[in-house]
Amino acid sequence: MTITGIAAIGAGLAAIGAGVGIGKIGGSAMEAMARQPEMHGKIQSSALILAAFVEAVALFGVVVAFLQG
């Protein structure tokens, strides 16, 4: 297997991890908003920030794939 193939697998794994992470954040945020609609704004902004943190890890994978691809 070439290094490009390995990089592609790595990028895919990073995407899976980020997908699970963002899914959990989104799910919990929706649940929290349904329980406490008055906290809607605060929950939404913290969910976006947390999603950005999770996404950053996936994007490290994308960057590695760019460098190798």
Which SS3 state, helix, strand or coil, does residue 4 take? helix
Give CA–CA dist 59/10, Å, rounded. Answer: 11
55 binds other proteins (CB under 8 A): yes
- Shortest distance, CB of residue 25 to other proteins, whole angstroms? 14
Contact indicator for 33, 39 with CB cutoff of 8 Å: yes
How many chain residues are in contact with other proteins, going by CB under 8 A? Answer: 14
**62: contact with other proteins by CB under 8 A:** yes
Does residue 7 bind other proteins (CB under 8 A)? Answer: no
Gap between the Cα atoms of 42 and 35, Å rounded: 13
Residues that bind other proteins (CB under 8 A): 41, 45, 48-49, 52-53, 55-56, 59-60, 62-63, 66, 69
